Structure 1
């Protein structure tokens, strides 16, 4: 009888897949954000879109290196709220970055070595982008939204 691998063995792969899914969603969302951003923030949206494309591609390679088949992108994603104003667009960008930071915080916890450093860098970059979009930062990026969800569960 063959033993199933320990869940801890697959944890980095699972976390990398979750981060890849978050990056797919971010790439999609920034397509919408870029189209609806105020002119003054359009450059920032393009820069963020490019950063998420690069991270997505890197995570695709990482998932393969970990022995997995990279999760494909969905054809479309449902946005969490309707975008009626530039302020809504900025709020969406901040929320997307919070979600990405949350996914990378899981990857930081489950990985080690180079992958952990890369995940920490991605977490930090997402937190900085969220703070820029929001106009204010959070003390522990990637954890705040998790504690909010836990309280409401």
Structure 2
């Protein structure tokens, strides 16, 4: 997964960057889910479904608004090997934090319904990251200002 910062070049670019982050999140949850069981696996499936829903909404929004729809990649490089539950949950936290960062970057470039969409996505990512931190036994389980670069 590339550690790229959101570019923030206007509303369409901010949404395109968020779409790229959603693509990566969907791909990552395919890897994450393989290493989880029971409630964790259900949470990963739910997270993947949420990211798919946001992806679909962004594709529709960008394509009907005349914006460029960035293409998904066939695969993404993981920041570290995912070989067990611990590394899978760690990646889930990281994915949600990164995706939150892209949605946070979209906020200053949006108004009205677009701003509500970005804020809802940021909130959803922050909540999922908190749940994954709790599952990982990480303390603190919440962070101030979700999506903000560390």
Q: TM-score, normalised by structure 1?
A: 0.85
Q: Which has the higher contact order (CA 8 A, sep 6+)?
A: 2
- Superposition pairs of residues 7-86 of structure 1, within 5 angstroms: 11-86=10-85
1:40, distance to aligned residue in structure 2 (A): 3.2
Structure 1: 5+ residue runs without aligned partners? Answer: 1-7, 149-153
1:84, distance to aligned residue in structure 2 (A): 2.6
Q: Is 1:137 the counterpart of 2:142 in the alignment?
A: yes
Report what 2:89 is aligned to. Answer: 90
Q: Considering fraction of residues, name the structure with more helix.
A: 1
Q: TM-score, normalised by structure 2?
A: 0.87
The answer (yes or no) to whether the contact 2:31–2:82 under 8 Å persists in 1 is no
Instruction: Write the distance in 2 (CA, Å) between the matches of 1:114 and 1:56.
Output: 16
Aligned-residue CA RMSD in angstroms?
Answer: 1.3
Structure 1 runs of 4+ aligned residues shifted over 4 Å read none
Q: Spell out, residue by residue over 1:91-123, the C-alpha distance to the aligned partner (whole angstroms, 9 max, x if none).
A: 100000001100000111111110000110000
What is the DSSP-based 3-state SS (H/G/I as helix, E as strand, rest coil) of the residue aligned with 1:33?
helix
Instruction: Write the distance in 1 (CA, Å) between the matches of 2:110 and 2:65.
Output: 11
Instruction: Write the distance in 2 (CA, Å) between the matches of 1:112 and 1:66.
Output: 15
1:66, distance to aligned residue in structure 2 (A): 3.2
Structure 2: 5+ residue runs without aligned partners? Answer: 1-7, 135-140
Aligned residues: 137
Higher CA-based Rg? 1
Report what 1:4 is aligned to. Answer: none
Q: Is 1:103 the counterpart of 2:83 in the alignment?
A: no
1:32, distance to aligned residue in structure 2 (A): 0.8
Instruction: Write the distance in 1 (CA, Å) between the matches of 2:147 and 2:39.
Output: 27
